[in-house]
């Protein structure tokens, strides 16, 4: 039996890539978003993995693109989780280090404000 190579970060990046390619509907997107909802990382995983912030960045971008209730609940939970991981000095931490984690946390938090060039029209 072959083991699945499906992961949260890769699924999130794949959904974001589909949106970027102009694919906004379909079974693949629905299944991918359902996977993200079922496999959302726990907050404590941020300190124990290399890909927590990478996955959450792409998942949050995908949720924002989806909109509606999916975005509303994802944004609320992500905001809570990311802010709860902030250190007293204002930084964030993961196995890569504070520079990467802090940069990614800030980018995740700013997604609804559409500062990234990817949101330019």
Please identify which residue in the block is written with the tokens 């520079």: 99
Length of the chain: 121
> Distance of alpha carbon 79 from its chain centroid, rounded?
11
Q: What pTM, to 2 d.p., does this model score? A: 0.90
- Assess contact for 68 and 17: CB atoms under 8 A: no
pLDDT digits (tens, 9 = 90+) for 42-51: 887 878 888 9
What whole-number distance in Å separates Cα of residue 102 and Cα of residue 93? Answer: 7
pLDDT digits (tens, 9 = 90+) for 62-82: 999 999 999 999 999 999 999
Sequence spans of domains, the chain: 8-110
Residue 15: which of 58, 69, 56, 55 has the closest Cα?
A: 58
- Assess contact for 78 and 108: CB atoms under 8 A: yes
Per-residue pLDDT of the chain (121 residues; tens, 9 = 90+): 567 788 999 999 999 999 999 999 999 999 999 999 999 998 878 788 889 999 999 999 999 999 999 999 999 999 999 999 999 999 999 998 999 999 999 999 999 998 877 766 5
């Amino acid at each position: 039996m072959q083991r699945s190579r499906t992961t949260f970060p890769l699924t999130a990046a794949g959904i974001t890539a589909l949106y970027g390619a102009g694919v906004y509907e379909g079974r693949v997107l629905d299944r991918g978003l359902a996977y993200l909802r079922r496999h959302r990382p726990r907050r404590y995983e941020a300190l124990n993995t290399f890909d927590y912030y990478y996955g959450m960045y792409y998942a949050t971008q995908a949720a924002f693109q989806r909109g509606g209730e999916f975005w509303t609940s994802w944004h609320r939970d992500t905001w809570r989780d990311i802010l709860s991981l902030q250190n007293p000095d204002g930084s964030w931490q993961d196995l890569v280090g504070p520079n990467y984690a802090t940069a990614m946390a800030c980018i995740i938090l700013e997604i609804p404000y559409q500062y990234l060039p990817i949101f330019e029209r």
